[in-house]
């Protein structure tokens, strides 16, 4: 491994690797040996064209979280991950933080959006759910059984105004027949739920605007209240990931799989085509899930602030594989814990053609989050940036070993209760399980400010605005 600049290291290919790899990272950011090994494994995939790591890189399943892998002829379920279309959505308001009660809104939202793993909310028939799987947000408008108040808010939304503000217009070409019955059962009633782990809803204040021209174009101003949602495809996506990763492991396609976890599927096979269709279904469900949660947030915001406005800034996945053109070729770009960062030149005839689309990068629940925009010089990262700060401690290392049913501490973690409490001073925290919340402590994550310094220094994206958390809802 060779450092070639302050913000990039280079992994030269060996006899097993088909391509070199790059990692955009500074010397101040911890880099795990196992994450490097996983990135090298990705370089062994048949038809691989480019592999890179983003500044939040850390060990994952098969490939690191915070990685981008481009292939021509194969699809890699593990390089998308279990939580397909886990992604970010930012909602902007016309409200000023000095006149706003963030704790009041957070507690109100908590009553309508279940937090934590395995929760259900909006009940759908199998046919209605299939419509969502195949059409995403457009499918929500075709739901026939509307026995929840959220549909009243949906019908007031102008679809033509929303879709341009969502990657792929919130609808990828899915086929519900490629999704297992078990996956459908797990996801059918989970729209409008947050999930567990690092998923969150965060009420934030814009504390600094760096690029005033772009911020004005996007409707962002200092002291503004914005709301960030981080969630994905829930049990549906996890089951699809499990189904197709297991399928890939069981098949021999000629060249060996790089590792037991990292297995590929040729796109010209039935299994490869089915994975793409199922992945799109999961992505559509995640788009719909974040949209339903936005409507539930809007309902609560308008209850407390009748004159408030809540508008979508952008919605972007960071666990997805997409066919894109790079270096003159059509390649499948797998982004796992990495977000698309297209500059304006790649968005011809789209709403963000003047600026490039917003790049949404959260920190930890006790640190700053950022709005950025891709640069015209970020093709070296396949127009990608990191999806967050990235973990520097495992969940067990951070919180210790805790018995779930009663919260008894079986092994002490690295972060004390006092340290955790201090890191969250001034922030309203609402969580489903107080016994395990230290898994998500700010100290368990990399320094988001250093991560953003690398993003800007490596010319992957540039900062438009910076936000601080006022209230956080966590699973």
Q: Which residues are catalytic?
A: 387
At 70 the three-state DSSP class reads strand
Q: Which residue carries 């790591």 as its tokens?
A: 53
Strands (E), 252-355: 265-266, 310-317, 319-326, 329-336, 338-340
Whats the size of the chain, residue-wise?
A: 475
The neighbour count for residue 212, using CB atoms within 10 Å, is 13
Cα distance between residue 62 and residue 78, in whole Å: 6
> Number of C-alpha atoms within 13 angstroms, CB side, residue 29?
29
Angstrom CA distances, 263 to 45, 81, 244, 253, 272, stand at 8, 12, 10, 10, 12
Cα distance between residue 467 and residue 225, in whole Å: 9
Tell me if 50 sits within 8 A of 282, measured CB to CB. no
Give one word for 219, left, alpha or beta, with left for phi > 0 and alpha for psi -120 to 50. Answer: left
The neighbour count for residue 76, using CB atoms within 10 Å, is 27
| Residue 76 φ/ψ, nearest 5 degrees | -125, 100
> Which helix (H) or strand (E) segment is 33 a member of?
helix 33-42
Cα distance between residue 139 and residue 129, in whole Å: 9
Which sign does the torsion angle of CA 348, 349, 352, 355 carry? positive
H-only helix segments in 370-416 = 395-399
Cα distance between residue 415 and residue 370, in whole Å: 25
Cα distance between residue 254 and residue 245, in whole Å: 17
């Amino acid at each position: 491994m060779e450092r070639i600049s302050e913000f990039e290291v280079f992994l030269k290919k060996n006899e097993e690797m088909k391509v070199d790899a790059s990692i955009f990272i500074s010397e101040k950011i911890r880099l795990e040996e196992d994450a490097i090994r996983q990135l090298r494994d990705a370089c062994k995939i048949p038809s691989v064209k480019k592999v890179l790591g983003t500044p939040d890189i850390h060990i994952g399943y098969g490939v690191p979280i915070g990685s981008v892998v481009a292939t021509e002829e194969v699809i890699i379920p593990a390089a998308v991950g279990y939580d397909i279309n886990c992604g970010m959505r930012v909602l902007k308001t016309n409200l000023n933080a000095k006149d706003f009660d963030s704790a009041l809104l957070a507690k109100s939202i908590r009553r309508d959006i279940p937090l934590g793993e395995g929760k259900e909310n909006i009940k759908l028939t199998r046919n209605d759910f299939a419509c969502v799987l195949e059409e995403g947000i457009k499918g929500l408008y075709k739901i026939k059984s509307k026995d929840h108040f959220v549909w009243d808010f949906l019908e007031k939304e102008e679809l033509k105004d929303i879709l341009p503000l969502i990657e792929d217009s919130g609808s990828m070409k899915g086929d519900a027949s490629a999704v297992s019955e078990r996956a459908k059962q797990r996801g059918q009633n989970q729209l409008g739920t947050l999930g567990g782990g690092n998923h969150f809803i965060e009420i934030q204040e814009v504390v600094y605007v760096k690029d005033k021209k772009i911020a004005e174009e996007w409707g962002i101003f200092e002291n503004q209240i914005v709301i960030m949602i981080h969630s994905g495809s829930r049990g549906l996506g996890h089951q699809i990931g499990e189904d197709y990763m297991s399928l890939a492991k069981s098949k021999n396609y000629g060249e060996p799989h790089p590792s037991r976890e990292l297995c590929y599927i040729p796109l010209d096979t039935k299994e490869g085509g089915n994975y793409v269709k199922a992945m799109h279904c999961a992505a559509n469900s995640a788009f719909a899930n974040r949209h339903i949660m936005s409507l539930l947030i809007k309902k609560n915001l308008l209850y407390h602030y009748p004159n408030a406005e809540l508008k979508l800034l952008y919605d972007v996945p960071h666990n997805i594989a997409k066919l894109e053109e790079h270096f003159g070729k059509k390649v499948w770009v797998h982004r796992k814990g990495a977000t698309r960062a297209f500059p304006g030149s790649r968005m011809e005839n789209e709403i963000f053609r003047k600026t490039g689309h917003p790049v949404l990068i959260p920190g930890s629940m006790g640190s700053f989050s950022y709005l950025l925009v891709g640069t015209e010089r970020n093709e070296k990262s396949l127009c990608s940036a990191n999806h967050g700060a990235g973990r520097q401690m495992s969940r067990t290392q951070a919180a210790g070993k805790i018995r779930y049913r009663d919260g008894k501490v079986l092994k002490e973690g690295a972060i004390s209760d006092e340290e955790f409490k201090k890191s969250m001073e001034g922030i309203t925290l609402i969580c489903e399980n107080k016994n395990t919340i230290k898994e998500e402590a700010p100290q368990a994550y990399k320094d988001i400010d250093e991560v953003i310094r690398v993003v800007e220094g490596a010319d992957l994206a540039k900062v438009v605005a910076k936000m601080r958390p006022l209230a956080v809802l966590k699973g």
